[in-house]
Structure 1
Amino acid sequence: MTKEKDTLKERVESALKKIRPSLQAEGGNVELVEVTPDRIVKVKLKGACFGCPMSQMTLKMGIGRMLKQEVPEVKDVVEV
């Protein structure tokens, strides 16, 4: 991995740390799985977020939007 990719992954992880408290307050969490070379962030929803009917909205409108604001290079956020 190049230093640039490491930096991107570190920035994504830093942004996720800002999001986690609100997810944890509802009994959920998010785990970074991978940042692909084409800047797709793959995450795993955990706890109460896993299987929640609102999880896709949380993923796209909450996590995805926040990540794209914090790390503009991110193209998309997907659940794996």
Structure 2
Amino acid sequence: MIPFSDEELRPAVEKSLEKIKPMLALDGGGLTLLGIKKGRVFVQLQGACQGCPSSGQTLKYGIERQLRIDIHPELEVVNLLPGMEDEFETFGE
């Protein structure tokens, strides 16, 4: 169980994601933090990362791994596809 509220996690998540964004940009990609719900971090991969065959690897072994190192080992990252940005509230219920 993650010992932080979603609101407490947000600044730490934002700071950790700032470390990752330059690496994504090197390949023409990026990401946007959509929100955090019950310890699940919802992002949307953008640019070249969107639809890339390696995006699943980037998500789990890049983004999620960094968040787990920086913040808590139980954090999970979920990529929402374009058009689903406003629907993250319904996930995980």
TM range (shorter): 0.7 to 0.9
Distance, in Å, in 2 between the alignment partners of 1:26 and 1:76 is: 23
Q: Deviations over 1:30-65 (max 9, x none)?
A: 1100110x1000000000000000000000011010
Amino acid at match of 1:53: P
- Alpha-carbon shift at residue 74 of structure 1 (Å): 5.0
Amino acid at match of 1:70: D
Gapped runs of 5+ residues in structure 2?
81-93
Distance, in Å, in 1 between the alignment partners of 2:27 and 2:57 is: 15
Match of 2:40 in 1: 40
Moved >3 Å (runs of 4+): none
- Structure 1 pair 74–34 and aligned structure 2 pair: CA distance change class (3 A): farther
Whether the 8 Å contact between 1:28 and 1:50 is mirrored in structure 2 is yes
- RMSD of Structure 2 on Structure 1 (CA): 1.3
Distance, in Å, in 2 between the alignment partners of 1:48 and 1:9 is: 25
TM-score, normalization: structure 2? 0.76
Match of 1:11 in 2: 12
Gapped runs of 5+ residues in structure 1?
none
- Alpha-carbon shift at residue 7 of structure 1 (Å): 2.9
Amino acid at match of 1:44: Q
Identity %: 39
Whether the 8 Å contact between 1:33 and 1:42 is mirrored in structure 2 is yes
Q: Deviations over 1:2-53 (max 9, x none)?
A: xx533310110100000000000110001100110x1000000000000000
Match of 1:29 in 2: 30
How many residues in Structure 1 have an aligned counterpart in Structure 2? Answer: 76
